[in-house]
């Protein structure tokens, strides 16, 4: 379903130069604008969409994309499944060393987790 966005265009010398959108609408579509940066890092479209459109944390988005369970990831990094569940919460702030272990276990670079 497409959502209507109220906007205003500002012309300069007869051509559209700017578009004004309400702040709430801008914040709603902003992740789509930031997605280009993430895609340029070589992150698959499915991971980008999961992270930006469905607000799924990057660790989970990658794990889902690769097709492994929390239990499998836990075994690869030497922690419990419950610890992986905590790392996948939107409010989680994993240490860099933890992100490095996860990236290695998923076969990706740490930069692909730390966006």
- Going from N- to C-terminal start, the domains of the chain cover 30-112
* Per-residue pLDDT, 52: 77
Q: pLDDT tens digits, residue range 28-70? A: 777 667 666 666 778 888 888 888 778 899 999 999 999 999 9
Residue 109: pLDDT band by 50, 70, 90 thresholds? very high
Tokens coding 41: 């890092």
Q: What is the rounded distance in angstroms from the CA atom of residue 30 to the CA atom of residue 8?
A: 17
Pick from 100, 50, 45: nearest CA to 77: 100
Pick from 23, 81, 26, 32: nearest CA to 54: 32
CATH topology of domain 30-112: 434 Repressor (Amino-terminal Domain) (1.10.260)
* Per-residue pLDDT, 106: 97
pTM of the model: 0.69
């Amino acid at each position: 379903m497409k959502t209507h966005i109220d906007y205003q265009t500002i012309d300069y010398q007869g051509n559209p130069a700017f578009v004004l959108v309400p702040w709430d609408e801008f914040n709603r579509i902003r992740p789509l604008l930031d997605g280009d940066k993430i895609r340029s890092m070589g992150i698959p479209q499915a991971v980008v969409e999961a992270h930006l459109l469905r607000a799924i944390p990057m660790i989970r988005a990658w794990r889902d994309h690769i097709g492994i369970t929390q239990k499998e990831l836990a075994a690869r990094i030497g922690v419990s499944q419950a610890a992986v569940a905590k790392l996948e919460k939107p409010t989680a702030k994993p240490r860099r060393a933890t992100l490095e272990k996860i990236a290695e276990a998923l076969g990706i670079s740490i930069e692909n987790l730390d966006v």
